C-alpha cells in the first residue's frame, strides 16, 4: 500500500541507490490521497506539536486548495474575511453554551 509523497521524494530515493515505484494519480485519486495525507499530517502534528509538522499540514492544505480549483490567495482572502467578520482565535475564548 502506497501513499502520496512530496514531489522530490522519488529523486531522493534514487540518490540513495534505490528504485522508487511510482505512478501519477487521477484527479479523483489525488483528491482522496490529499484527504488521507491531511489526516496523517494532522495526526503527526498532534503527536509532537512541531513547527515542521505545522508546515506539513499547511502544505497539504495549500495542495487541496489548488486541487479543488482555488488559489492560495483566494484561500487567504476567505480566511481574512472570516477573521474580519467573526474574529480569529487569539483571545482564547471557550464557549460553554447558553443560559
In the chain, where are the structural domains located? 25-85
Retrieve residue 70's grid coordinates. Answer: 482555488
44-80 per-position pLDDT tens digit: 999 999 999 999 999 999 999 999 999 999 999 999 9
> Does 1 score more than 90 pLDDT?
no
Q: Give the pLDDT confidence score for residue 26 in this predicted structure.
A: 98
DSSP secondary structure of 73-96: HHHHHHHHHHHHHH--STT-----
Q: What is the mean pLDDT of residues 4-8?
A: 97
86-95 per-position pLDDT tens digit: 999 999 999 9
Rounded distance between C-alpha atoms, residue 3 and residue 36, angstroms: 9
28-42 per-position pLDDT tens digit: 999 999 999 999 999
Q: Give the pLDDT confidence score for residue 55 in this predicted structure.
A: 98
Amino acid at each position: 500500500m502506497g501513499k502520496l509523497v512530496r514531489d522530490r521524494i522519488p529523486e531522493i530515493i534514487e540518490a540513495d541507490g534505490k528504485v522508487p515505484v511510482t505512478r501519477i494519480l487521477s484527479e479523483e485519486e489525488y483528491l482522496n490521497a490529499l484527504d488521507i495525507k491531511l489526516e496523517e499530517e494532522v495526526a503527526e502534528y498532534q503527536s509532537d506539536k512541531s513547527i515542521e509538522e505545522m508546515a506539513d499540514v499547511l502544505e497539504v492544505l495549500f495542495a487541496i486548495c489548488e486541487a479543488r480549483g482555488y488559489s492560495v490567495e483566494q484561500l487567504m482572502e476567505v480566511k481574512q474575511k472570516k477573521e474580519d467578520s467573526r474574529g480569529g482565535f487569539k483571545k482564547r475564548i471557550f464557549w460553554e453554551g447558553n443560559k
